[in-house]
Amino acid sequence: MKSVLLLLCVFIVCCLPADKKDKFTVVVFKHGKIAGDPEPFRKLLKKFEDENPGIVIRDEMLPASTDEQHQFYVINLEGKSSDFDVLSMDVIWVHEFARAGWLRDLTHMLSGEDRNDFFPGPMQAVTYNNRVYAIPWYIDAGLLYYRKDLLEKYGFSPPVTWEELIRIAQYIISREPGLYGFIWQGKQYEGLVCNVLEYLWGNGGDILRDGKVVIYSDENIHALRFIRDLIIKYKVTPPLVTTAIEESTRHIFGNGRALFMRNWPYAWNIFEKEGSPVKGMVGVTLLPSFSKGPSASTLGGWQLGVNKYSKHPEEAEKLVEFFALPESQKILAITLGYKPARRSLYSDKELIKEQPFIAGLYDVFMNARPRPLTPYYMMITQVTQPEFSAALSGIKTPEESLKAAQRQIDYILAAER
């Protein structure tokens, strides 16, 4: 039906007199699958069209896989395609695309007030060589979900340190048959890097520091060994996590089979829906820290940019500006659960009434850290994913994995200098 309507629209446009064709511009918006019911998103696009007579938006969905989306953009932008105008980008792509010259400079779109209203992590992620090449759309960061009913039953508060999480998990799962202690995303993919970085940062480590490769360090060896020990030594994490992604862990936790889970904020809305086995039983807090380090969450989220080769850059910028407005971000937060990239909305009374837990995310998002800000991040993650996976699966020791990663990343950066 949708394809028939699209063909009809094209037919109507083609049959218009020449003087009528010039009265509107079609802006093509490429993006991934919209979470939940897409109707609120479509209504927002219609609102933009109503407010901007003469501009028609054609939204085109990309494959669900972020790897496939990245591949689509690279192939088309390398070929200087003008077939789309606005593109949604994972937080880790902006520096790569900006360096390649594929994005329109949007620095002029942000006032000082706007810059301050966006969380610092996303602003760092969209800024390359002191110029802004995308506008933050919505934000994500790693969180700790917990079964507050079970913690209350056994007299525990949410853990602040990893040591506390282990102690609590071991105690409760020994008394609750069939319950996993702590689940997270351990499959060899980008989600694994997000998880591992939270331990590395929390223990004082990193991958890059001031442009230097520092992944092979005592801090990182200790952190990577600790993640492996969650499975082997402490036995609070089941071996199945080495094949787990966001949705598989959400299903396990959402079916009442885990005490703790690391995941992104999107899962909260699903747990609170009618019919959820854990409705009203779930709490959310900062990820634990090591005894001497801070809590660290990996920054996620999506940004909106304008294709450098767009034939309608001014109209495309208007659409990006529209989605950056507080009201637009608020609507998507209420209807789709997308967490706003604007700080001011976390004190919005209407939004807090609709989603009470959102106010507690402010500190998480303020401290969320972007993955290494480099145009070569996609090459770096292709190195770290198999090395981290090898360490967690016991194929290599943490020392061997990190030493191999150090050597390969050194090579990547040296070759690009």
Per-residue pLDDT tens over the stretch 358-390: 988 999 999 999 999 999 999 999 999 999 999
E strands along 214-355, which residues?
Answer: 258-263, 282-285, 299-306
pLDDT at 65: 83
Asked if residue 117 and residue 38 are part of one domain, the reply reads yes
The H or E element containing residue 145 is strand 143-147
Asked if residue 281 and residue 151 are part of one domain, the reply reads yes
Asked if residue 346 and residue 272 are part of one domain, the reply reads no
Q: Which region holds residue 298: left if phi is over 0, alpha if psi is between -120 and 50, else beta?
A: beta
Structure tokens at 257: 């089979």
pLDDT at 4: 44
**What whole-number distance in Å separates Cα of residue 192 and Cα of residue 106?**
32
Asked if residue 252 and residue 224 are part of one domain, the reply reads yes
Q: Calculate the CA dihedral of residues 218, 222, 223, 229 and round it to 10 degrees.
A: 160
pLDDT at 34: 87
Asked if residue 383 and residue 349 are part of one domain, the reply reads no
Asked if residue 198 and residue 290 are part of one domain, the reply reads yes
Tell me, yes or no, whether 71 lies in a domain.
yes
Low-confidence ranges of the chain (pLDDT < 70): 1-22, 416-417
Containing domain of residue 329, as a range?
Answer: 20-140+300-365
Task: Name the pTM for this structure.
Answer: 0.88
> In this structure, is the dihedral angle defined by the CA atoms of residues 51, 56, 60 and 66, taken in order, positive or negative?
negative
pLDDT at 11: 45
Structure tokens at 78: 């390398």
Asked if residue 275 and residue 313 are part of one domain, the reply reads no
Tell me, yes or no, whether 128 lies in a domain.
yes
Beta-bridged to residue 263, according to DSSP, are: 143
pLDDT at 294: 87
> In this structure, is the dihedral angle defined by the CA atoms of residues 336, 339, 345 and 350, taken in order, positive or negative?
positive
Q: Are 96 and 376 in contact (CB under 8 A)?
A: yes
Tell me, yes or no, whether 175 lies in a domain.
yes
Tell me, yes or no, whether 7 lies in a domain.
no
pLDDT at 10: 47
Q: Give the total number of structural domains in the chain.
A: 2
Asked if residue 89 and residue 38 are part of one domain, the reply reads yes
Structure tokens at 176: 């609750």
pLDDT tens profile 235-244? 999 999 999 9
Nearest of 147, 207, 160, 261 to residue 373 by alpha carbon: 207
Q: Which amino acid is at 400?
A: E
Residue 157 belongs to domain with CATH number: 3.40.190.10
